[in-house]
Structure 1
Amino acid sequence: MDSFQADWLRFHPGTHPLGHMLHYEGNWNITRFHLLPDGRNSANNHAELRALLERFNTVATATLGEDSPCYLVALQSPNQDKPHRYRTNRLKKRYNLTAGWEFFSTSDALTYTVWSGDVTWKTNGFNRLLLHIYQSDFWDILWVNKENGAVFRPYDAGADISQPTPEALMARISSFYGWMPQDGTGFVTFNQAQMATSKFQVTKSCAEAIQTVIALQKK
């Protein structure tokens, strides 16, 4: 068992680091923010693209912490086409990612190899990679805080995030509830064992946004 696998299972037992399945797999504190207007997946102009990058960084820094030691995680599977394999190989070299954990996903019917490496999260330090994710050159890239297991998983125009406690997740939601999807693609999940002793208060508008997401949440 490599160090990433050991840390991941310590923070998120019984789950796999499969980005698009995170909110289905675990009993943990996780939500989604969509960072372009009107639920769009692409920016209409350069100003919107700059704003998207800024929002990626804002959410990531709030989730992971500035200057926090993290794992950068990428997955490989046998169904990758040649361009994606090429881009992934460049990513491995750029961030010195090494292969470790292998697992089979029953949802995808694929075997994945986890490539991970040590990085330090810095605001605007990964804009090139975030742009590649926006352009769908990569998917299921994760940053995982090495000290508390917090996860930042950007997708083309938004991000799924997890936090170590319900209180921490609610703090992120309170800051960014205006970016919570209101079209049925959002979700809010808490670790139920932790919720038994958790207490927090939110504004009325934040509570309404959360209730809308929960009411429309797809199981």
Structure 2
Amino acid sequence: MTEDSATTEEFRRDWARYHSTCLPLGWMLRNREGSPWVRFHALPGSKRYADNKAERGIILSRAYALGDSLLGADQWCWVVEGEIGDPSATSEVAYSGTETDDPDDPVWSFSVRRERWRAGASDAKLLSIADDAPRRVIWMRCENGAVFAPYDGGFDLFPTSWEAVNQLQAAWPDWLSDHPAGL
């Protein structure tokens, strides 16, 4: 077994252990009934997109503060990048599937790699996500399955317990949504 195939198999086992009911996409994780989840906005006033360097700095600052709290600074994570496309198009696909059982649904293909969560290490990727890049990216802590899922406008966090959700909300109350459903 090659290193790539061993990594792929290890990710598949971890994903099945923690999140077997859905694809590695933030909105699918959020839609699982009873799953601990909280959303934080990337910019003050629920502003969706950055207009300048200062606002991009706020996005990165919030991303790393939340990521450090959820994933743990310097902890091993799976970085899962997904895009719609033919899973046979690349040998790097570790996981694939559709959002529903409808055969006409597009196929998502996911590549994975293990890396340590470190502040400053993913600036370009986080800013690309904030600018609504078509590629989706999540980070999942290898040790416990906690997921950090940035999107254009904020960050969906999937801790391992509702107690952890409460702690995150208490730490950054000004970053939370006013929407009744937390969106």
Q: Identify whether the pair has TM-score above 0.5, normalized to the shorter chain.
A: yes
Bigger radius of gyration, 1 or 2? 1
State yes or no: 1:9 paired with 2:3. Answer: no
In structure 1, runs of 5+ residues without a counterpart are: 80-84, 90-96, 188-219
> 1:167 pairs with 160, 163, 170, which one?
163
> Number of paired residues?
172
1:58 match = 65
Contact 2:83/2:134 (<8 A) preserved: no
> 2:75 pairs with 53, 68, 74, which one?
68
Contact 2:22/2:28 (<8 A) preserved: no
Contact 2:83/2:136 (<8 A) preserved: no
1:94 match = none
Bigger share in helix: 1
For 1:137 and 1:17, locate their aligned partners in 2 and report how far apart those are by CA, in whole Å.
Answer: 16
For 2:81, the aligned partner's letter is A
Contact 2:83/2:135 (<8 A) preserved: no
> 2:177 pairs with 178, 181, 199, which one?
181
State yes or no: 1:99 paired with 2:93. Answer: yes
- Deviation, structure 1 residue 182: 1.0
Contact 1:20/1:140 (<8 A) preserved: no
- Deviation, structure 1 residue 5: 1.9
1:46 match = 53
For 1:61 and 1:176, locate their aligned partners in 2 and report how far apart those are by CA, in whole Å.
Answer: 13
Contact 2:85/2:109 (<8 A) preserved: no
Secondary structure of 1:25's counterpart equals coil
In structure 2, runs of 5+ residues without a counterpart are: 1-7
> 1:145 pairs with 141, 144, 151, which one?
141
CA 1:131–1:185 in structure 2 vs 1: closer, same or farther (change >3 Å)?
farther
2:27 match = 20
For 2:55 and 2:134, locate their aligned partners in 1 and report how far apart those are by CA, in whole Å.
Answer: 20
- Deviation, structure 1 residue 128: 1.4
For 1:122 and 1:138, locate their aligned partners in 2 and report how far apart those are by CA, in whole Å.
Answer: 24
TM-score under structure 2 length normalisation: 0.83
Secondary structure of 1:181's counterpart equals coil
1:122 match = 118
1:155 match = 151
User: C-alpha offsets along residues 173-212 of structure 1, whole Å, 9 cap, x if unaligned?
Assistant: 111122111135625xxxxxxxxxxxxxxxxxxxxxxxxx
- Deviation, structure 1 residue 41: 0.9
TM-score under structure 1 length normalisation: 0.70
CA 1:139–1:33 in structure 2 vs 1: closer, same or farther (change >3 Å)?
farther
- Deviation, structure 1 residue 162: 0.8
Root-mean-square deviation (CA, aligned residues, Å) is: 2.4
Q: Return structure 1 stretches of 4+ with deviation > 6 angstroms.
A: none
State yes or no: 1:36 paired with 2:43. Answer: yes
